[in-house]
Amino acid sequence: MEYLKANNLRIGNIVASSGNPSNIKTWVIGKVISISSLDTDFEQIEVETDEEFTWFFKDNYFGVPLSIEKLLSFGFKELRDGIYQFWSKDVGIFQVMICSDNNGFGIRIWTTGTLGRTIYCVNDFQNLFYSLTGVELEMS
């Protein structure tokens, strides 16, 4: 599991922390509400979990893998096999294509062509969506 750096996160990103990242049952998943320090010696983020507000510290938080369930929680609907679509008056239509490769489940984003990158983690997807649309992608 590759740990994230605070400077790659935005407020609202979904991330996880655990003493044992390879055991999903031990994960604490939360939404970033504050990035306290980008100092490489003491970077930390505050997150809101289902139970509490807590701090995740340097080299102890990582991306949550994307899944169809996560896409649905963001408001995407299945358009046809492997293609999911998001619609809002602020964004219009935004489509993603599900793919699977040696790195696991992912999505490929396109506008009129392929951007050439597969996204595997929720926070990367949230950041790309915001970069392309200017709208925050929130879980329901």
The predicted-structure confidence for 72-110, as pLDDT tens digits, reads as follows 999 999 999 889 999 999 999 998 888 877 777 777 765
Which pTM value belongs to this model? 0.85
User: Residue 35 has which token pair?
Assistant: 């990035």
Burial tier of 81 (Cβ tally within 10 Å: 0-12, 13-18, 19+): exposed
The pLDDT of residue 117? 72
- For residues 101 and 94, give the distance between their C-alpha atoms in angstroms, rounded to a whole number: 23
Residue type for 76, please?
F
Assess whether pLDDT exceeds 90 at residue 132.
Answer: no
How confident is the model at residue 87, as a pLDDT? 94
Q: pLDDT over 70 for what percent of the chain?
A: 90
The confidence score (pLDDT) of residue 112 equals: 54
Overall average pLDDT of the 102-125 stretch: 73
Q: How many CB atoms lie within 10 A of CB 103?
A: 10
Q: What angle do CA 101, 103, 109 make, to 5 degrees?
A: 65
Residue 65, classed as helix, strand or coil, is strand
